[in-house]
């Protein structure tokens, strides 16, 4: 009887200690995304690396651009090292879903359907959509003129939806530069893209035989993209963005790339 009781006590004690250990382990693993990133000291960020002037490689091969510099400054202030993971736009949001990185910094437009599925930071840049065609194209002057025409847009782009809503047929491209190449070679008729990206391209390659024929009056807000329930991380990023605007750092970065404040 004594042996049975002693055995029973040992089993109970073992189960109790195991339960305690499991509870402790569960607590340790129940950290927020921000806490996990802070412990690691590094955040992974999805970006294209081919979308000038927002995220691209300079002549020396270094990843740079407006979005890159804003993200770098944000996480410098949070004492977290940003590690950029380059990927094509069409698979970028899927990569976030698959946890290949913790967030996306790539001129992601704030849209109601995105906010239903993802968390987004406060907007850090606004822009307008422009319609671009070949310099000798006089048939397309507005979005309504896209009916029956061929455009080149990224698969998951908001601009693709705009073009198709106006009756265009889309050819999937990897980015703005490829769309422009298709326009100049006569394979498509037009493309819709960011006004700031168009201005930068014309500044870098003024000889390109393309022109802007239409610009939307409404601005599009763009923000960092996160998986749902990244609340603490998003709050930290938002506070840091606000601090950067308040102390003039944001304006300095903005003027470097665009010569003006692109947050308004």
Q: Are strands 56-57 and 125-127 parallel, antiparallel or unpaired?
A: unpaired
| CB burial of residue 60 (10 Å; 0-12, 13-18, 19+) | exposed
Q: CB of 183 within 8 A of CB of 177?
A: no
pLDDT at res. 252: 97
pLDDT at res. 5: 52
Nearest to 124 by CA among 247, 255, 241: 241
> Which residue ranges form the domains of the chain, and what is each CATH number?
33-126+222-258 (3.40.190.10), 129-215 (3.40.190.10)
Q: How high is the mean pLDDT of the chain?
A: 90
Listing DSSP states for 1-32 in one string gives: -HHHHHHHHHHHHHHHHHHHHHHHHHHHHT--
Q: CB of 152 within 8 A of CB of 173?
A: yes
pLDDT tens for 138-181 read 999 999 999 999 999 998 888 999 999 999 999 999 889 999 99
pLDDT tens for 67-102 read 999 999 999 999 999 999 999 998 999 999 999 999
d(CA 100, CA 93): 10
pLDDT at res. 32: 94
d(CA 255, CA 39): 34
């Amino acid at each position: 009887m004594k042996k049975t009781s002693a055995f029973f006590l040992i089993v109970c004690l073992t189960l109790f200690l195991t339960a305690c250990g499991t509870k402790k382990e569960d607590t340790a693993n129940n950290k927020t995304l921000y806490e996990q990133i802070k412990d690691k000291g590094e955040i992974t960020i999805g970006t294209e690396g081919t979308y000038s002037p927002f995220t691209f490689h300079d002549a020396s091969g270094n990843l740079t651009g407006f979005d890159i510099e804003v993200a770098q400054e944000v996480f410098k202030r949070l004492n977290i090292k940003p590690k950029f993971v380059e990927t094509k736009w069409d698979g970028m949001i899927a990569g976030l879903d698959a946890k290949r990185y913790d967030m996306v910094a790539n001129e992601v437009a704030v849209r109601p359907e995105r906010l239903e599925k993802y968390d987004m930071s406060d907007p850090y840049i606004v822009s307008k959509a422009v319609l671009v065609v070949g310099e000798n194209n006089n048939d397309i002057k507005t979005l309504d003129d896209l009916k029956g025409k061929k455009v080149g847009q990224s698969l998951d782009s908001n601009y693709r939806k705009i073009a198709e809503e106006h009756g265009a047929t889309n050819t999937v491209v990897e980015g703005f530069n490829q769309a422009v190449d298709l326009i100049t070679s006569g394979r498509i008729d037009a493309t819709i893209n960011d006004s700031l990206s168009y201005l930068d391209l014309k500044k870098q390659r003024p000889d390109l035989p393309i022109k802007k024929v239409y610009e939307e009056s409404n601005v599009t807000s763009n923000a960092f993209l996160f998986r749902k329930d990244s609340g603490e991380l998003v709050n930290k990023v938002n506070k840091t963005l606000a601090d950067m605007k308040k102390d003039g750092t944001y304006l300095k970065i903005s003027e470097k790339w665009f010569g003006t404040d692109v947050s308004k």
